[in-house]
Homo-oligomer: A and B are copies of this chain.
Amino acid sequence: MNKKKAIVLVSGGLDSATCLAIAKAQNYECYAISFEYGQRSRSELQAAKEIVAAARIVEHKIFSLQMGELGSSALTDVHIKVPEEESEGIPVTYVPARNTVFLSYALAWTEVLKGEAIFMGLNARDYSGYPDCRPEYVAAFQQLINLATKRSVEGGIIKLETPLIDLNKSEIIKIGLRLGVNYGNTVSCYQADESGRACGRCDSCRFRHKGFVDAGVDDPTRYQL
């Protein structure tokens, strides 16, 4: 019998690496998708390639978007500083409609492949408060999937799987370590340098480091300092 196919969004960070390991452990035939969207941290994409190579899955597609030219986020516009302290509200690292664009590409590829699931490492606990990481957003995208595609109209099911959504970072790390994820290969920092070393100060670095501490394991992150 053919295995069921899943598309997994792989950013190069800790969450998506764990998510890929979970999809594999659930016995899906996995296809990875990543995006070059003008992100400031290019080493993130290099990390995605290494994570996917190590996972030995069927295929990895990297789509180049032109979202960077829209500007308006600290992640894609070098003129906006990445904050290094906690802030109120949705931070400037929010990229307009980013997850919606990512998921729409994933949906297109899933339909072409006749896949049954899209895995995304969204997390609504140790995160920065982005609107497109919340469970209600996931539910709305699932509803869209059910109406948008020829495959769904003809009775096929494409499920948006977000297995990390309710977990905190230390829980995610413990699951990943059990599944053999090498977190030394992952880059979470919003402003990692070219060789993937983390700043240790941005939101994403702080959540990540606390996760390793809370999980009681060594932090394998390579830091700039």
Residues of A within 8 A of B (CB): 63-67, 70-72, 89-90, 94, 96-101, 103-105, 107-109, 111-112, 130-132, 134, 136-137, 140-141, 143-144, 146-150, 152-154
Contacts and interface: CB of A to CB of B under 8 A. Distances in A.
A70 B7 CA distance: 13
Nearest to A136: B147
Given A104-B104, A132-B148, A112 B143 contact: no
28 contacts: A63-B65, A63-B66, A64-B66, A67-B108, A70-B112, A71-B112, A72-B111, A90-B150, A90-B153, A90-B154, A94-B150, A96-B108, A96-B112, A96-B150, A97-B104, A97-B105, A100-B144, A100-B148, A101-B101, A131-B147, A131-B149, A137-B144, A137-B147, A140-B140, A140-B144, A140-B148, A141-B144, A143-B144
Q: How many copies altogether?
A: 2
Contacts of A103: 104
| Residue of A94, A131, A152 contacting most chain B CB atoms (<10 Å) | A131
A100 B96 contact: no
Contacts of A64: 66
A104 B65 CA distance: 12
A62 to B, nearest CB: 9
Contact of A96 (B67, B90, B99, B149): B149
A183 to B, nearest CB: 29
A152 B111 CA distance: 29
B131 A152 contact: yes
A72 B150 CA distance: 12
